[in-house]
Amino acid sequence: MAETQLSKLHIAMFPWFAAGHMTPFLHISNELAARGHKITFLMPSKALPLLQNLNLHPNLISFHFLTVPHVSGLPPATETASDIPISLTPLLASAFDMTRPQVAEILCSACPDVVFYDFAYWVPEIAAPLRIKSVSFTVVSAASIAVIAYPGRRVTVDDPITEEELRKPPPGYPSSTVVLRGCREVRSLLFLSMPFGEGGITFHERLMTSYRNSNAIAIRTCEEIEGNFCSYLAKQFQKKLLLTGPLMAAPNKTTTTPTTSCLDEKWEKWLDQFEPKTVIFCAFGSQLTLEKDQLQELVLGIEQTRLPFLVALKPPTGSNSIEEALPEGFEERVRERGAVYGGWVQQPLILNHPSVGCFVSHCGFGSMWESLMSEPQIVLIPSLGDQILNARLLAQELQVGVEVKREEDGKFTSQSVREAIESVMLVEAAGVGEMVKKNHQKWNHVLTNPGFMDAYIHHFVNDLQNGWT
């Protein structure tokens, strides 16, 4: 599709220091650079190994390293969310805020046309006097912002958001299925009232200020799947919404952007030994650490399906390695057909390996798109607030996957894991499995249709070039 012939843009990117944020910021950078726009990408140097292979246009995308100040309570040399347990992220947010003078200096000297940011709610204060437009780029679903979209409500430590408020979505919220249920799920959003960063600003206030003070809100989503939530947000914030589309390309299928690399030989060979669409792949993103008993229930449930599997998860709380936390005798029992790995694997490439037939996912937003845009059947075990809403979007609204049942106490059991996987993988359990497969294929076809992503990026760039009010 021909781009409007306007001058090329220079865009600065400043994502929160977490893989789930930096990665989609780099994906949009790649799409923009593929169309000739120049990118200045601000990040901590420790993120380089994660990002450098994903940079498909090093001639146009330049990385600028920020020094992450030490904050008392953080382990030495902490730079990204992957370096710490989730409980320490408010301290990392303080370190993130303390990079403000460095960010100001780079914006002042690089003088981009636009700056994209997410958690750095203070960016518009730096950018506006420099006549740089600010775009608040949301890398979580529109639904998960819509459910807390109270632009006028100042949530402070002294006036926290209550369970009562969270139990019902805001007036006019456009869905009755993409909602939180029960106390445990509602409580998963109480972190919104926690101080998150310098000056004791709460997480909710940080987000609302980000949206309020931006020139536009960009979201990594598409009308076809989240149109109702996007219209709702545009109305709530009285802002222009720019949609990037899903961004994550299934290898070799969707966009003009070339793909990154090949699957590691070790996993390629390991997966090659199994029949097509039989292997269960399980990964829970970059942040989530399970409790040891939940890790054990998970792997036992997977074992009970008798299918081959590859589980790639962080070691659980209190364990130095994932191996030491496995149930007794587990490794011997599954040696021939199961691999459990405590490190990082190339998830998008694994999902596209012909042997993989089922993806057991925490439904982080990145994984949500990757699951929709690949073929394996989808089984969901969400934990955090936005993951729960993403899972409802897939399991209830689109009906493309199944969610693992949890007990009253919020825990899942090996039995519930096994049942959910079998409901989509066993031929004899045809009902649900066939239904979600058909729906998934329909959406997969829409999202991976050649031109779908290109059309989104085309409109997105046009909006950036001439859509400002």
Ligand X SMILES: O=c1ccn([C@@H]2O[C@H](COP(=O)(O)OP(=O)(O)O[C@H]3O[C@H](CO)[C@@H](O)[C@H](O)[C@H]3O)[C@@H](O)[C@H]2O)c(=O)[nH]1
Q: Which parts of this chain interact with ligand X (CB under 6 A)?
A: 19-21, 23, 139-140, 283, 285-288, 312, 344-348, 364-367, 370, 384, 386-387
Q: Which two tokens stand for residue 419?
A: 């049942």
* Shortest Cβ 15–ligand X spacing (Å): 10
* Shortest Cβ 80–ligand X spacing (Å): 11
* Shortest Cβ 365–ligand X spacing (Å): 4
User: Which residue, 440 or 458, is less far from ligand X as judged by CB?
Assistant: 440
Contact 44, 66 (CB under 8 A): yes
User: Which residue, 88 or 345, is less far from ligand X as judged by CB?
Assistant: 345
* Shortest Cβ 249–ligand X spacing (Å): 12
What is the C-alpha separation between 326 and 322, in angstroms, rounded? 7
Burial (CB count within 10 angstroms: exposed 0-12, middle 13-18, buried 19+), residue 337: middle
* Shortest Cβ 312–ligand X spacing (Å): 5
Closest CA to 135 of 208, 23, 215: 215
User: Which residue, 39 or 250, is less far from ligand X as judged by CB?
Assistant: 250
- Alpha carbon of 349 to those of 32, 263, 346, 376: distances in Å? 23, 6, 6, 12
What is the C-alpha separation between 335 and 291, in angstroms, rounded? 24
User: Which residue, 23 or 29, is less far from ligand X as judged by CB?
Assistant: 23
Burial (CB count within 10 angstroms: exposed 0-12, middle 13-18, buried 19+), residue 212: middle
What is the C-alpha separation between 358 and 282, in angstroms, rounded? 8
User: Which residue, 221 or 465, is less far from ligand X as judged by CB?
Assistant: 221
* Shortest Cβ 413–ligand X spacing (Å): 23
Query: How would you classify residue 404: left for phi > 0, otherwise alpha for psi between -120 and 50, otherwise beta?
Result: beta
* Shortest Cβ 362–ligand X spacing (Å): 6
User: Which residue, 245 or 348, is less far from ligand X as judged by CB?
Assistant: 348
What is the C-alpha separation between 416 and 301, in angstroms, rounded? 7
User: Which residue, 456 or 465, is less far from ligand X as judged by CB?
Assistant: 456
User: Which residue, 175 or 390, is less far from ligand X as judged by CB?
Assistant: 390
Neighbouring-strand partners of residue 40: 12, 62
* Shortest Cβ 434–ligand X spacing (Å): 27
User: Which residue, 345 or 435, is less far from ligand X as judged by CB?
Assistant: 345
What is the C-alpha separation between 112 and 317, in angstroms, rounded? 43
User: Which residue, 132 or 247, is less far from ligand X as judged by CB?
Assistant: 247
CA 429 to chain centre: 31
* Shortest Cβ 201–ligand X spacing (Å): 20
* Shortest Cβ 428–ligand X spacing (Å): 31
* Shortest Cβ 127–ligand X spacing (Å): 23
Q: Supply angle C-alpha 144, 149, 150, rounded to 5.
A: 155
User: Which residue, 8 or 406, is less far from ligand X as judged by CB?
Assistant: 406
3-state secondary structure of 320: coil
Contact 228, 175 (CB under 8 A): yes
User: Which residue, 132 or 207, is less far from ligand X as judged by CB?
Assistant: 207
Contact 133, 143 (CB under 8 A): no
What is the C-alpha separation between 294 and 284, in angstroms, rounded? 13
* Shortest Cβ 342–ligand X spacing (Å): 10
Contact 136, 210 (CB under 8 A): yes
What is the rounded radius of gyration, in angstroms, for the C-alpha atoms of the chain? 22
Long-range contacts of 411-416 (CB under 8 A, 24+ apart): 411/293, 411/294, 411/297, 412/294, 412/297, 412/298, 412/301, 412/381, 413/297, 413/301, 414/296, 414/297, 414/298, 414/300, 414/301, 414/304, 415/301, 415/304, 416/301
